[in-house]
Amino acid sequence: MSSTFIPPKSDANWQQLASTAVQKEDTSNWLGELVQETLALTRRLFIQLQRRPSTLIAGIIQPVMWLILFGALFQNAPKGMFGDSTNYGQFLSAGVIVFTAFGGALNAGLPVMFDREFGFLNRLLVAPLASRFSIVLASTIFIVSQSLLQAAVIVAAAAFLGAGLPNLAGLGAIALIILLLALGVTAVSLGLAFALPGHIELIAVIFVTQLPLLFASTALAPLSFMPKWLQIVATINPLSYAIEPIRYLYLHNSWNLGNVVMQAPWGAVTFGGAILMLVGFSFVAVLSIQPLLRRTLA
């Protein structure tokens, strides 16, 4: 009778299998710890906001006042002066939504900067964290969530003031646009928080940046009102690529990615093209701060 001989598995194979299993377990544990750390740090930021909600309240009251005051200021403007808008409040709503999200995201670096100055960041850096990038992820989640909440309140206020309300798909598109813009601006702000020496310098950058970017965009006036040089600047400004698609949603019930939302000096910008510009802006912003974060959080 013949029998088949099965050679025993070598110790090397068993060691390789055991090593693979350990690596998978380590990866699973690392991801779980990263999520836990990020959620804990995010919860800390929300607790701070709950204890001192003045920033959130001011970030909602100010844009609502803009809607009321600017809408009343230009309520007697001739029809057609601001494109297809039935009133200036409808035209202004998109700009207020975007600028509020932009302003909140630009302040994203302040909590990190204060943690640096008060020594809490140093405690985190010496703590046994799975990844120090959880500090950045927590700040990003907090700011993006706050921006979406503020945008929702402003959309509701604009609807109450007569600007109308986009359909459900349009509201989803607004959320996506705000998410992309807030992600890119938050990355820039966090990079500044790690690069600048103190909060005075960061606040100075915020003050110097906010209003020029507002006026050098289509938030308050269409491109046709601007001189040629300002039109070029406005079409470079990422805010314009967030404002115009949202404005189109307010003015049109039906839309698609091929609809033209802005006539730039160099050509027509479609809805999809504006979204791609925001994706590119966010990608470049996140990518550009990676070397700085690696040096700081190493």
Other beta carbons within 10 angstroms of residue 171's beta carbon come to 15
pLDDT of the residue at 79: 64
Block residue for tokens 């979204």: 275
Domain boundaries along the sequence of the chain: 34-297
Block residue for tokens 């070029």: 232
- CA 71 to CA 91: how far, in whole Å? 9
pLDDT of the residue at 284: 94
* pLDDT tens digits, 41-93: 899 889 988 888 888 888 888 888 888 887 777 776 666 666 666 677 778 88
Instruction: Decide if 199 contacts 117 (C-beta within 8 A).
Output: yes
DSSP 270: E
User: What separation in angstroms does the CA of 14 have from each of 7, 21, 27, 182?
Assistant: 14, 11, 20, 49
Burial category of 125 from C-beta neighbours within 10 Å (exposed 0-12, middle 13-18, buried 19 and up) = middle
pLDDT of the residue at 292: 83
pLDDT by residue for the chain (298 residues), tens digit each? 455 555 555 554 545 544 554 455 556 676 778 888 889 889 988 998 888 888 888 888 888 888 888 777 777 666 666 666 667 777 888 889 999 999 889 988 888 888 888 888 888 777 777 777 888 888 889 999 998 998 899 989 888 887 788 888 889 999 999 999 999 999 999 999 888 888 889 899 988 988 889 889 988 888 888 889 999 999 999 999 999 999 999 888 888 888 888 888 888 899 999 999 999 999 999 999 888 878 877 6
pLDDT of the residue at 23: 53
- Of 196, 200, 202, 179, the residue nearest 107 (C-alpha): 202
- CA 77 to CA 83: how far, in whole Å? 12
- Of 201, 181, 185, the residue nearest 193 (C-alpha): 201
Instruction: For CA atoms 127, 292, 110, 154, give the dihedral sign.
Output: negative
**Residue 278: which H helix or E strand, with range?**
helix 271-288
Largest CA distance in the chain: 105
Instruction: Decide if 189 contacts 107 (C-beta within 8 A).
Output: yes
- CA 64 to CA 106: how far, in whole Å? 19
Instruction: Decide if 180 contacts 170 (C-beta within 8 A).
Output: no
pTM over 0.75: yes
Instruction: Decide if 264 contacts 233 (C-beta within 8 A).
Output: no
- CA 80 to CA 102: how far, in whole Å? 28
Q: What six digits make up the tokens of 203?
A: 């606040």
- Of 108, 222, 104, 109, the residue nearest 153 (C-alpha): 104
Cβ within 8 Å of residue 38, ≥6 positions away: 134, 137, 138, 141
pLDDT of the residue at 77: 65
- Of 95, 81, 79, 219, the residue nearest 158 (C-alpha): 95
pLDDT of the residue at 84: 64
